[in-house]
Structure 1
Amino acid sequence: MRYVVGYTANARGGDAVNLAVALARRQGASLDLVMVMPEDSPYNGVYPPVAGFESILAAQVSQWIDEGLALIPADVPSSAHIRRGESEAEALIAAADDLGASLLVIGASATGLFKRFSVGSVAGALLHASTVPVVLAPSGYSRTEPITRLTCALGTREGAGQVLAASIAMARRRCLPLRLVSLVALGNDDAGTTVEDAMEHLRGVAEASQALDVSALDKVEIDVVVGSGRTIEDAVDRLDWQDGELLMIGSSRLAQTKSIFLGATANRILRALPVPMIVVPRDFEFTSDEVTA
């Protein structure tokens, strides 16, 4: 099992490394630290590059990625890779594909309030294009102990069964308790869904989803919870979150098959979320290595 970590030589890169270590320790996975260098291009600010600039930049990037590797504890296998690309997001997606990574881990922008999320340009591009699940660390994330619980946010629209199947596969592989959550806004943006409706829907999805083998439910400790508030953000804030928790959410219906597209509700959840989030591509299926214990 391999996880790609999109590393940058700043606090955001450190947040990503910390979260990747926590995930790897739970799974027994190895980490591939990837740093992206810009390609020579006539569209760059300076082209052709100033004499000697390329070797200076390469030396600096090599130093930075060595510093990133030093953040990873000895009990977690790791390696470093320097990639070139006009787009950092595209280069990270290509690296994840080439290395056969199961997850792509990145950090949030350092401008997020209360150590939560503010999505920068690279994270935004990944959350609308990645073909592997993207895990986003909140700003200031420092925990490196193994993840303790997986929460799956489920809506009432088509595709909920696929997200549930992915969450059960992930929980089984990592021996994690699974919490199914539905969020209900009771204020001005209420869409007519009640807490009772949401609870009934959650139970129905858990018991009767065609995407799941019934035996899978017997092997995972599942809790069903409905969060409510004046807004979606308020509902997220009212839920009980563990320090070692990870939230899984599916992609919008606008996403292309096997690709991520972060929808409007997911963006609102992200603004209030105090724990890391994993976004799963539409119609994503874990590999046999991922789902077998």
Structure 2
Amino acid sequence: MTAAQDRRWEELLRNITDMLPAGPVCVVVDGAGEQNLIVAERLAAAVHATGRACTRLFGTTPSTWSPESSADAVVVAHGPHWRAHPPRGHWDVVIWLRTPPAGNGRKSAKADADIVIDLHDPTWPVIRHSTARLGDRTRWYLTESRAFFATRAASWDTKFGDDLPAYAAAITEAGLPRDGVVVDVGCGTGRALPALRHAVGPRGGVIAVDLTPEMLAQVRSHGRAEYAALALADARHLPLADASVDAVFAAGLLTHLPDTDAGLHELARITRPGGLLVLFHPSGRAALAARHGRTLSPDEPLAEAPLRRSMHQTGWRLTGYDDPEHRFLAIAARR
């Protein structure tokens, strides 16, 4: 592996060991076929490196090990055989390795996972989920989000570039103020920037913010930097003054943030009273969920009722909500 890939593994394992509860902990790594053995071995080594005792369980006969034999250790097992026979009646931490659909096929097995790791590229693992009882997601959000998008930036427009007309249509429908200042938070490769510049006109201002340097590099390589001022920043802590913009555009942002309400609060902070918030995705929620092999829940942050509540609590008033198969578009006004 390259030095960068080694650092990625070290960073991920450090984030996982930081999440493990104090005291004796039983951990099982499942999914991704033989990769679960490799991940379990690396995790055990990382636990040892922190100074905690660690016991590795091997084989497929759980009866050969007794939890009393490692009462003070972190116990790490791997594979579906151990997953099906938890010590002490349960696993304290279940880690699920997510691979392409053809790679595991056990979609239900990840439902009760405490940590989900994207292992589409075995040299570049990324944490995509952790349960609330393992602590605040903000502890790993920054490093893991950057890692997730860094390797996808170069191919992003090849994969999703045909939705540019959908961006332009949504921005036109939103009715952004002419000559105003709009910020694209989580701008990615800058697909919205030409339409945002057209909406506010030559006397308006467009600011493009993203967390990932590689995404901003793609903005430049695609020639879209001419439409906006670029800023490398975290959407949770924007480098903009209070009430300094007339509108915020955010495509696919909220579902990536560890705290939806905190994110909406920050977007409200920078927006002038009466300003607009435009939340967009070029696929509807149901279509996007189906693409990722999951079903929608009525309490998801972008479902209409929860989103309306969150908007009200964070200084916004939801004025439009549209969620057909071909797009998601929600528009709110700053109160």
Q: Same fold (TM over 0.5)?
A: no
Instruction: Provide the TM-score with structure 1 as the length reference.
Output: 0.32
- Looking at secondary structure, tell me which structure has more helix per residue: 2
Instruction: Provide the TM-score with structure 2 as the length reference.
Output: 0.29
Q: Which has the larger Rg? A: 2
Question: Greater relative contact order: 1 or 2 (C-alpha under 8 angstroms, separation 6 or more)?
Answer: 1
